[in-house]
């Protein structure tokens, strides 16, 4: 395969993209005719064509003393296939989130609202910066990157190993952050929504997806509510 970096660099320039568009409409064109379509000299157009040729996007042949050029679209198709692979990757993740939300019927098991005098940007940083998170939740390796798998570590006890793992689902800076939250065989979804208000920032918290067994366990949802309320209060102290 042609070097992808070369192809990306070649098509990054608008003049070279226009050359490709012109060649895509015909079998081939001579240099003088291509030059006539631009407000630049023959030498400058030749340099652009040389870059496209080096990237494998253009072929040339001599006809008498004139050089004629034609499009070779194969490298573009290879790049399209490469991009399509990652497009499917992200579509799969969005589909997983959609299914998760539908299964949970969009009904949050824990809903909390906090108001902080800090700016939205400051609150967002506290939600996404690993060092900041360690100060109001637990030690972690969190990164605000969709698809990133992270880990939080609390003090273990006789009932729990203290480990929470998750995967970042949505990063809409600085408006919304969502990720899975898995521990002790239970996987839920955490969603933070930030809104600018007169007092500073309103932070809306939702935790969804608790199993029916957990919901039926006395004190389970109340315990989660208490824990996240305490985290939110620690965040307030940190921001202050």
Q: Do residues 57 and 10 make contact, with C-beta atoms less than 8 angstroms apart?
A: yes
Q: Where would I find the beta strands (DSSP E) of 3-148?
A: 29-30, 58-63, 66-71, 110-116, 139-140
Instruction: Kindly tell me if the per-residue pLDDT of 56 is higher than 90.
Output: no
Joined together, the tokens standing for residue 105 give: 């019927």
Instruction: Kindly tell me if the per-residue pLDDT of 86 is higher than 70.
Output: no
Does domain 104-239 bear CATH number 3.40.50.150?
no
pLDDT band (50, 70, 90) for residue 1: very low
pLDDT digits (tens, 9 = 90+) for 122-172: 999 999 999 999 999 999 999 999 999 999 999 999 888 999 999 999 999
What's the rounded Cα separation, in Å, for the pair 234 and 74?
Answer: 56
User: Who has greater pLDDT, 140 or 220?
Assistant: 140
Contacts (Cβ under 8 Å, ≥6 apart) of 99? none
pLDDT band (50, 70, 90) for residue 85: low
pLDDT band (50, 70, 90) for residue 82: low
Q: Do residues 96 and 89 make contact, with C-beta atoms less than 8 angstroms apart?
A: no
Q: What is the mean pLDDT of the chain?
A: 88
Joined together, the tokens standing for residue 40 give: 């630049």
Joined together, the tokens standing for residue 111 give: 């809903």
Place of tokens 């996007």: 57
Give the residue among 96, 129, 108, 122 at the shortest CA–CA distance from 194: 122
- Fold of the domain spanning 4-76: Arc Repressor Mutant, subunit A (1.10.10)
Q: Do residues 218 and 224 make contact, with C-beta atoms less than 8 angstroms apart?
A: no
DSSP letter assigned to residue 41: -
Domain boundaries, the chain: 4-76, 104-239
Give the residue among 128, 133, 129, 153 at the shortest CA–CA distance from 235: 133
Helices (H), strands (E): how many in the chain? 9, 10
User: Who has greater pLDDT, 8 or 62?
Assistant: 62
Q: Average pLDDT, stretch 55-62?
A: 88
pTM of the model: 0.58
Q: What's the angle, vertex CA 203, arms to CA 202 and CA 205, rounded to 5?
A: 145
């Amino acid at each position: 395969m042609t070097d992808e970096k070369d192809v990306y660099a070649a098509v990054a320039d608008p003049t070279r993209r226009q050359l490709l568009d012109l060649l895509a409409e015909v079998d081939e064109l001579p240099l003088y005719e291509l030059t006539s379509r631009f407000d630049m000299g023959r030498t400058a157009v030749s340099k652009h064509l040389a870059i496209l040729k080096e990237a494998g996007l253009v072929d040339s042949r001599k006809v008498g003393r004139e050089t004629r050029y034609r499009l070779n679209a194969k490298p573009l198709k290879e790049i399209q296939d490469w991009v399509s692979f990652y497009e499917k990757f992200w579509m799969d993740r969005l589909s997983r989130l959609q299914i998760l939300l539908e299964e949970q019927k969009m009904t949050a098991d824990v809903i909390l609202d906090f108001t902080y005098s800090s700016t939205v940007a400051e609150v967002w940083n506290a939600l996404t910066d690993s060092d900041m998170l360690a100060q109001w939740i637990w030690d972690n390796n969190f990164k605000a990157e969709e698809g990133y798998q992270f880990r939080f570590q609390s003090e273990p006890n006789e009932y729990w190993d203290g480990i929470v793992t998750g995967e970042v689902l949505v990063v809409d800076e600085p408006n919304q952050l969502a990720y899975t939250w898995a521990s002790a065989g239970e996987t839920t979804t955490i969603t933070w929504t930030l809104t600018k208000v007169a007092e500073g920032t309103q932070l809306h918290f939702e935790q969804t997806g608790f199993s029916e067994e957990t919901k039926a366990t006395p004190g389970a949802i109340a315990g989660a509510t208490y824990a996240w309320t305490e985290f939110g209060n620690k965040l307030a102290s940190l921001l202050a």
